[in-house]
Amino acid sequence: MADYTANLASLSKYRIGIGQETTAGSAVTPTVFSSLLLDENCDGHPNYEEVEAITGGFAQESQRRLITHNVADVAWSQLARPGEMNMLLQQALGNTTLDGSRDLSTLKPITVEVDRLHEVLTFAGVRIDELTISSRAQEAMRIDVNGVAMSFARGTSATSPSWNSDHVLRHGDLALTFGGSTYAVNEIEIKIANNIDREKRQNSVNRLAIPFGPRIVTARLVMDWNAQNKATFQDLVHSGVTAALSAVWTRNNMGLTIALPYLMLLGEQPQGKGRGLATWSVVGTAMASAIGEDDEISMTLDAT
C-alpha cells in the first residue's frame, strides 16, 4: 500500500513571494519572500453557473455548466521583519512614500506567488484591501494581509527564495505616545481598510480594474484599567476631540513608526476576568486634517 503521507504538504513548506509590477496585471518574478508565514488562505478558481435549459443531447447538456468569472483573492498572516514590509505598506497606503497620500496611477499593483509544495499559484494585479498590524504583550508583531487580484495562474515551478535577515519586531520594542504622553499598553492593533470594489469585472471573467474606495484607518488599544488611563482616555471618548498617536517599534536600528495625527476615540470598554487585573479597551478612527486630505496616517520604515 502506498504511503499517502508522502504527498501531504506542511505549512512549513509554504512560501509567499511578492514582486512590484511595472504593468498592472502583468505578473513579475517575486523579489521579497515572507520568511515567517503564520497562515495562508489564497484562493484562485473559476466560478461556475449551472444554466437552466432544455437540451437536445449530451453535447448540449455539457454546455449548461458555464464559467461566469474567476475568483482571485489573497490572504495571509506573517511575522513582521522590516525588510519584508515595504511593498505591503506601500500597497496598503497607495503610494511609495508612506506619507498617507494616494497615487495609484503611479503605484502599480504587485504579483503574489504562493508555493504550496505541490502547486504554485501566481496572482497578478494584486491590490491590498485590508492590512492589519497587531502587537501584543510577550509576542512578536503580526501582519494580516487581505487583497484581491486581477487574475491567477496555476503552475508547478516556484521562484527560488532569498530570505531577509532583519530581526522580527516585538511588542517589547514598542514606544507609544498619545496626546504627548507615554503609555504602557498590553496590545495595539492598527487596521487600514481601502474598501476596494471587489467585483469590477464588467464584460470579463477576470477583474479589469481594482478601484479603491474611501480609506478608513482604525486603532485599538488595550491597557491596564487605572486612574490615569481612565481620566485621559475616557474624557477623550466623550469629548470628540482628536489627539496624536505615535507607535514606534525599534530593534537594532531597524523598525517601523506609525503616526495617526488626528485619532478620535469612539468607544471604551473595561474588561475583567476572574481575579486578574482589569484591562481597558479603547477604539478610535484616524481623521484627516481637512476634507479631501489623505494625512490621517503616515509611516516610516527603517530596514535593510
**Confidence class for position 56, pLDDT limits 50, 70, 90:** low
**Mapping DSSP to helix (H, G, I), strand (E, B) and coil, where does residue 100 land?**
coil
For 244-302, write each residue's pLDDT tens digit.
999 999 999 999 999 999 999 887 766 666 566 777 888 999 999 999 899 999 999 99
Q: What's the pLDDT score for residue 271?
A: 67
Are 166 and 172 in contact, with CB atoms under 8 Å apart? no
Grid cell listed for 6: 508522502
**Mapping DSSP to helix (H, G, I), strand (E, B) and coil, where does residue 60 land?**
helix
Q: What's the pLDDT score for residue 290?
A: 93
For 110-154, write each residue's pLDDT tens digit.
999 999 877 899 999 999 999 999 999 999 999 999 999 999 999
From CA 43, how far away is CA 139, in angstroms rounded? 29
Q: How far is C-alpha 284 from the chain's CA centre?
A: 19
Q: What's the pLDDT score for residue 30?
A: 97
The pTM of this model reads 0.89
Q: Which of 53-57, 136-140, 239-243, 276-280 has the highest mean pLDDT?
A: 136-140
**How much of the chain exceeds pLDDT 90, in percent?**
60
Residue 226 in this model has a pLDDT that exceeds 80: no
From CA 121, how far away is CA 146, in angstroms rounded? 16
267 or 85, higher pLDDT: 85
For 150-178, write each residue's pLDDT tens digit.
999 999 889 999 999 899 999 999 999 99
Helix/strand/coil percent split, the chain, to 5: 15, 45, 40
Name the nearest CA neighbour of 198 among 130, 139, 297. Answer: 130
Q: In terms of DSSP H, where are the helices of the chain?
A: 58-62, 86-93, 227-239
Q: What is the mean predicted confidence (pLDDT) over 218-228? A: 85
Q: What is the mean predicted confidence (pLDDT) over 79-101? A: 95
**Confidence class for position 236, pLDDT limits 50, 70, 90:** confident
**How much of the chain exceeds pLDDT 70, in percent?**
88
Q: What type of residue sits at position 76?
A: W
Q: Residue 31's CB: how many other CB atoms inside 10 A? A: 14
Burial of 162 (0-12, 13-18, 19+ CB in 10 A): exposed
From CA 240, how far away is CA 231, in angstroms rounded? 15
Residue 9 in this model has a pLDDT that exceeds 80: no
Are 156 and 114 in contact, with CB atoms under 8 Å apart? no
Q: What's the pLDDT score for residue 62?
A: 62
